[in-house]
Structure 1
Amino acid sequence: MAERRRGAALEKALLDAAWEELTNNGYARFTMDAVVKRAGTSPTVLYRRWSDRDALVRATIPHVLRKHIHDVPDTGSLREDVLTLMREISATRLQLVTVMSVNLASYYQETGTSPGDLVDPTTTGRKEAVDALFDRAVERGEIKPELLTERIKSLPFDLLRHEFLTTFAPVPDHVLEEIVDTIFLPLVR
């Protein structure tokens, strides 16, 4: 007989089941009943935590993003730190970005939200991680801190996401190098 899940283990199982439903079927066919069935639990257990599918999606996305945080590289150079992080993201996040953009399109339309509304970098730890990378580059004297706006810091990663969404494939290394060397680095030096 399977051990009964409780607390954090149960919540993780529910959120993992919700992510699998979103990944496999998209938001248009995403139902609370499908998540209950996939998680092997009862509707009461799910509805006790999330009152509707919107609330469940808003809990699922940060849960998944927290599981996909990469260690921040410390290679000794901003160029290599950013390229290393972009290479790791390119190799591991294609499905995540695709699901968030394509499979959730009907969610954004129905709720009047955007991917940015679901992704709060402070709740996933992503902002602190990227800030540490840039703080080290400032300490090494590689970049001018007054040039580091939030938009500039996110630019290489925004362009990486754009590549994902226009090709639906991992981004080739020469493209990553072009983003970093010809677009990003000239803006911070």
Structure 2
Amino acid sequence: MGERQRTDGISTRRRGATLENAITDAAWEVLVEQGYHGFTYEVVATRAGTSKPVLYRRWPQREDLLVATLARHWRPLDVPPDTGSLRQDALALLRTINAERSRAVVLLRIQLADYFRETGTTFDDLRGRLRPADQTPPFAALVERAVERGELADEPRSARLVNLPFDLLRHDMLMRMGAVPDEAIVEIVDTVWLPLLGLSPHGTRAKR
């Protein structure tokens, strides 16, 4: 099923993915500008140049529309290419997050505050819905890679330890309301994470 939209006097029909992408693009703009409080079917439909029934047919609940919007604009992080070193892999991943996600992390924490209050959920709950069920978290993938190289011992490690670099970076982003200095990224890896994993900043196993 499609719908007609007039552009410069020409009637065009948008269907399927084209229509849904136009709606979720408009919904993202509304979320960024007005937060979840202003994220209504009426406002999104007007911005997308469509009608509320078109939105309701695809997303019966406002939360459904929100998740679809975030899934389109908040894509999972890719694991960086193998550098041959856990330290360099971790630095590359953190620098990518810092460059590409800092504004969005802060923005969504603020703009989704009403959503979290209304649903009684957390940012971690939402991230779990957006991440594919079969996807290994990026830092877990880096640790697995390091184990395969023989850089780390093959032993149990808690998710909190494995994901600590991202958690610390996210905390700094929120405290600074934006990207963090590169020296902070290096400090997270060299003075916090690697020692907890039993490695020195040079990638060798630390003496115990």
Question: Which deviations, in whole Å up to 9, do the C-alpha atoms of 1:29-67 show, x marking residues without a partner?
Answer: 22111111111112121111112322211222232222x
Question: Is the 1:25–1:103 contact (alpha carbons within 8 Å) kept by the matching residues of 2?
Answer: yes
The more displaced of 4-13 and 109-118 is 4-13
CA distance in 2, matches of 1:171, 1:182: 16
* Match in the other structure for 1:135: 144
The corresponding residue for 1:98 is: 106
What pairs with 1:90-129 in structure 2 (closer than 5 Å)?
Answer: 90-120=98-128, 122-123=131-132, 127=136, 129=138
1:161 aligns with 2:170: yes
2:80 is equivalent to residue 76 of structure 1: no
Which residue number corresponds to residue 51 of structure 1? 60
Instruction: Give CA-to-partner distance per residue, 1:73-105, whole Å, 9 cap, x none.
Output: 311111111111110110111222112211101
Q: 2: CA distance between counterparts of 1:55 and 1:127?
A: 24
Q: Which runs of 5+ in 1 are unaligned?
A: none
Q: TM-score, normalised by structure 1?
A: 0.89
Instruction: Looking at secondary structure, tell me which structure has more helix per residue.
Output: 1
Once residues 156 and 87 of structure 2 are traced to their aligned partners in structure 1, the CA distance between those partners, rounded to angstroms, is 16
Report the CA distance shift for 1:69/1:3 in structure 2 as closer, same or farther (over 3 A). farther
Query: Rg: which structure is higher?
Result: 2
CA distance in 1, matches of 2:182, 2:135: 23
Larger mean CA deviation between 148-157 and 167-176 belongs to 148-157
Deviates more, 1:147-156 or 1:30-39: 147-156
Aligned residues: 188
Asked if the contact 1:61–1:118 (Cα under 8 Å) also holds between the matched residues in 2, the reply is: no
Partner Cα separation in structure 1 for residue 133 and residue 98 of structure 2: 18
SS of residue matched to 1:93: helix
Bigger drift between 113-122 and 165-174 goes to: 113-122
Q: Which amino acid in 2 is paired with 1:49?
A: R
Q: Does the 8 Å CA contact 2:140/2:163 hold for their aligned counterparts?
A: no
Unaligned segments of structure 2, at least 5 residues: 1-9, 199-208
Which residue does the alignment assign to 2:23?
14
Larger RCO of the pair (alpha carbons < 8 Å, separation 6+): 1
- 2: distance between equivalents of 1:145 and 1:168? 37
